[in-house]
Structure 1
Amino acid sequence: MIKFIKVLTLIATIGMSNVYAQQQASSSVSMFPKPEKGQVQYIIDVPHSTKDDTKKIEFFVGKMTETDACNNHGLMGQFEEKDLQGWGYNYYEFKTDGQIRSTMMGCPDAKKIQQFVSSTSQLVRYNGRLPIVIYVPEGYEVRYKIYTTNDEVFVGKTLK
């Protein structure tokens, strides 16, 4: 019986910490505007580290689409950086009409594949203390990469 009570206490503790973490994440973005009709709000919330200044985040918007296998494809659209008035924070809004650009090579076999077709990317500094908030049209998703450096610095050479 004591083991059972300990297990229940552990489960309750884990559950409460998950609720607390969710409340922390939602409260850290509560000051951002709610998504407009037809939009989805994405949040990139990365952990803080002592090496935040050696990292960058690249994010892009896209969706799975059927394309041919031999051309390169990209989602047409652009990011607009907006200021969160009164807070000193910014957020991003991605606008697209859904058109996809493509190289126009002839495909001899015309094989069709499903692939993630993405927009041009936005590269921003890594900040583990503040989430990146991005609004995109419904049906699209945000993906991101984190880049790090080993602090190695190089010196450029001049021509003489």
Structure 2
Amino acid sequence: MGPTTFNTTVGLIAAVLSSVVHAADPEKVAPYPEPESGYTRQVIQLTPQTRENDFKVEILAGKTLTVDCNLQRLGGTLEEKTLEGWGYSYYRLEKVMGPMSTRMACPDGQNKQDFVPVIGDGFMLRYNSKLPIVLYVPQGIEVRYRIWSASGQVDKAVME
């Protein structure tokens, strides 16, 4: 095999792997389990970035509920699991509790529909566009996400 054939073969293999890794269907990447009864599987595919270490993904799981002027929150923990035999991570949102609310008097007495997020541990994830973020959440929970990026400015602490 000459250098040209080798480079062409390597390029084809890279293209095939890239198309598999960036597929929206997580089962094309690895055998992620089917959701258990009462759960749904939701998938996030991230856009490749030049410096992915400068980014984080915030998972915003929650429900749209009727709320008043009080701050509403649901409680829960997003647990990281490992896909056996593959080493890939996936996430499971266990018991969702609430809603919990502040107890301010609302003078207008008007209610509205609003997204109420689950607050707890494990909702800020490392940015990795090479693998999908696979989440298993209770039925009725919607998964949204937000991308955080680091500033290019780095400041130095002052010794005192």
Question: Where does residue 55 of structure 1 map in the other structure?
Answer: 55
Q: Secondary structure at the match of 2:41?
A: strand
**Alignment check: 8 A CA contact 2:71 2:101 kept:** yes
Deviations 1:49-93 (A, max 9, x none): 22212111101211110011x210101222111111111111111
What amino acid maps onto 1:59 in structure 2?
I
| 1:91 corresponds to 2:85 | no
TM-score, with structure 1 as normaliser: 0.78
Question: Where does residue 117 of structure 2 map in the other structure?
Answer: 118
1:30: how far off?
4.2
C-alpha distance in 2, partners of 1:135/1:127?
18
Q: Secondary structure at the match of 2:24?
A: helix
C-alpha distance in 2, partners of 1:136/1:113?
25
Q: Which runs of no fewer than 5 residues in structure 2 stay unpaired?
A: 1-18
**Alignment check: 8 A CA contact 2:30 2:86 kept:** no
1:151: how far off?
2.7
**Once superposed, which parts of structure 1, at least 4 consecutive aligned residues long, lie more than 6 Å away?**
none
Q: Which runs of no fewer than 5 residues in structure 1 stay unpaired?
A: 1-19
Question: Where does residue 103 of structure 1 map in the other structure?
Answer: 102
**Shift in CA distance, 52/28, structure 1 to aligned 2, threshold 3 Å:** farther
Give me the identity figure in percent.
38
RMSD of aligned Cα (Å)? 2.0
1:143: how far off?
0.6
TM-score, with structure 2 as normaliser: 0.78
What amino acid maps onto 1:63 in structure 2?
K
Deviations 1:77-110 (A, max 9, x none): 2211111111111111112345201111111222
**Alignment check: 8 A CA contact 1:28 1:131 kept:** no
